[in-house]
Each structure stands twice: as structure tokens, then as C-alpha cells.
Amino acid sequence: MPLPTKDILGILADNLNQRKSVLPMSEAKTTRWAKGLDLPMGGKTIIYTGHMYQLIPVIDAMAGQMSKLEDTPITKMMGLGRFANKFVNMTFFMGLLASKTEQADYDRMLRNIALLLKKAGVDFGYLYGEEMYSGALVYDEGIDGSFAKHAQRVCDLFKKHGVTKVITVDPHTTHTLRTAYPQFVDGFDVEVKSYLEVLAESGLEPTQQLDEALTLHDSCLYARQEGVVDQPRELLGKAGVKMNEPDLCRKNTHCCGGPLESLFPAESHRIAGNRIDQLKEAGENITTMCPICLVGLRKAAKGTVQVNDISDTLAKAYGV
């Protein structure tokens, strides 16, 4: 029996309504990456993580538990889980299971992104513990009432801090803030840009030429919805990186399967497996630009091929 769609959606919505995130995490976990970077609190321009990179180790731990549940009679108990979740933050316990090295890994990527922006001369702040999840998953699942309320909360937060420009670090937050929010929040006029766009526009020059080849995996949302296709190629190209393009690339990129992880883990893994096969055919050193793609493809690669986030390569080439 597949996971009960209704109850999982219910947990996601309840969490967003009560705890301002689909998978609420402690402030310590969401802000740990920024330690020692001396980012000012707030400001007109801010970096906005949407907790995506920080969430991955937690989701990873949780998905492990969930896919063990899929096709077991315990799925029938999920309704009970939703009931309990109203009183106890169930995902908090999942967070405890998250791997420490994995957490450090994802924190480093965020730090790299912030350092790259600094190097490019961008003046930006951070909302630390006040930052919230974007609501992307709830939007995707069509729970529009909860999403609308949440979008309004995030918008109010921006207003409170006088934020006019937001730099995002992943495609889901970029798409949700840039494309979905204006449809749900009247007069939403915050400028939203992905850090890849900001870096490409800044004219930042690499500090060293990398004599290496990598295989680029485009994010569906970046490529097809947000027009982020050439920027990563430009940044890597300037640093002398040779890019292998799989048959399905750029606007015709193939999904990593990630969006199904919460409801249909087995199907999600099947799609990730298909994609990793296509990428392996094109070359080694697979590079992603979305934490969800990264974790999904890494798992599907099962160690047969390296999968890295583009921020690591950029950090190396641009000397941060």
C-alpha cells in the first residue's frame, strides 16, 4: 500500500500552519552555516536560503524511515501520526537522526554561496532565525489556502525588515518567491534573483582556470520556469571548465525525481535512477544546482559517480 497521500499532505499543511514550515527545524540547525561570516541582520538586500540546503539532511533521514514504511501495514497508522503531530513536532525527532557529516556538507555549500556573493561585491544581510521556509511544497501540492497565508507571513517579514531585494540559493525558493508569491500576495514587489544570476551579472572573474570537465544537470524550475540556463554555464566557462551536456539538457532537462520523495519515495528513486543513467552516459563529475537534485542523484548514483553542487566548483574557481 502506498503512503497515504491525504495524511501526509495533512501533516505538511498542519506544520506550515502551526510551525511555519513543512518540516520544522530548530533555529540552531537553520542558521549554523552563517556562523563567522559576519552577515548583518536584515537589510535592503538579503540572502534567503528558504531552509532548503539545511533541510536536506533531515529529509534524508526521514525519507529513509518513510520508504521503510511504504508497502507496510503501518501506513494505515499515518492518520494517527497526523493527529499526534498536531501536538508534538514529529519531524523534530527525525532531525535528531540527521547525519552530522551530511549537515556539515550542506552548510559548507551555503557558506560558499555567501562568500562568492561577498567576493562579487554584493552588499547583503541575512534574517537568521526569522527566516522562514518558502512554502514551495505546499504550493506544489495545491494546498493553496495554507500557502497563501504563509506567503503573506513571509511578505510581512520582508516589509518589517525593509527588504526590497532577495537573493535566493535554490530553484524552488526562487520559483516560489518570484513566480508564485505575486499571484497570492497583493502588491508583492520584492525583487527576487538567484545567486547564479547575481554572480553572472556581477562580472566576477575567476582566480584560477580549472582544467576539468563536468556533466551539468539543469534544474527543471531554473531551466523551464525561471530562465536560469546560461548563467551557470557562463560562470563555469569563464573558469575554463569543459561541460558535458546530456541529451536532455537546458530547457529539455529531465527531472531528478525529487518532488516525489515525500509521497512516493519508490517512484522518486526510479526517476532518479533513470536520470543518473542519462547523466553517466554524458560524462563524469555530475554537477547540480539544486539541493534536492543533489541528494536524489547522489543516492541514485550509489557511489558509482561523483555528484557535486555547483557552489563547490565555483568556490574553487573563484577563490573563496
φ and ψ at 216, to 5 degrees?
-90, 130
Residues of this chain, 261-280, that bind other proteins according to CB under 8 A = 263-264, 267, 271, 274-275
- We find the least distance from the C-beta atom of residue 167 to other proteins, in angstroms, to be 24
Q: Which is nearer to other proteins, 192 or 293 (CB)?
A: 293
- Residue of 282, 273, 264, 281 whose CA lies nearest to 301: 273
| Other C-beta atoms lying within 10 Å of the C-beta of residue 142 | 8
Residues of this chain, 212-231, that bind other proteins according to CB under 8 A = 220-221, 224-225
254 binds other proteins (CB under 8 A): yes
Q: Which helix (H) or strand (E) holds 47?
A: strand 45-48
Among 141, 170, 197, 309, binds other proteins (CB under 8 A): 141
Cell 546560461 sits on residue: 230
Q: Which is nearer to other proteins, 177 or 199 (CB)?
A: 177
| The three three-digit cell numbers of residue 212, written as one number | 576539468
Task: Pick the stretch among 120-128, 257-265, 297-305, 307-315 that binds other proteins (CB under 8 A).
Answer: 257-265
* Count, residues in the chain: 320
Report the sign of the C-alpha dihedral through residues 168, 173, 179, 185, in that order.
negative
Residues contacting other proteins: total by CB under 8 A: 32
Among 94, 98, 109, 143, binds other proteins (CB under 8 A): 143
- Residue of 185, 182, 174 whose CA lies nearest to 219: 174
67 binds other proteins (CB under 8 A): no
Among 102, 144, 212, 245, binds other proteins (CB under 8 A): 144
Among 132, 260, 297, 310, binds other proteins (CB under 8 A): 260
Task: Pick the stretch among 9-17, 52-60, 198-206, 304-312 that binds other proteins (CB under 8 A).
Answer: 9-17
| The three three-digit cell numbers of residue 93, written as one number | 525527532
13 binds other proteins (CB under 8 A): yes
- Residue of 56, 55, 47, 298 whose CA lies nearest to 194: 47
First to last CA, the chain: 48
Q: How many angstroms separate the CA atoms of 72 and 226, rounded?
A: 39
Which chain residues interact with other proteins by CB under 8 A? 2, 5-6, 9-10, 13, 139-146, 220-221, 224-225, 251-255, 257, 259-260, 263-264, 267, 271, 274-275
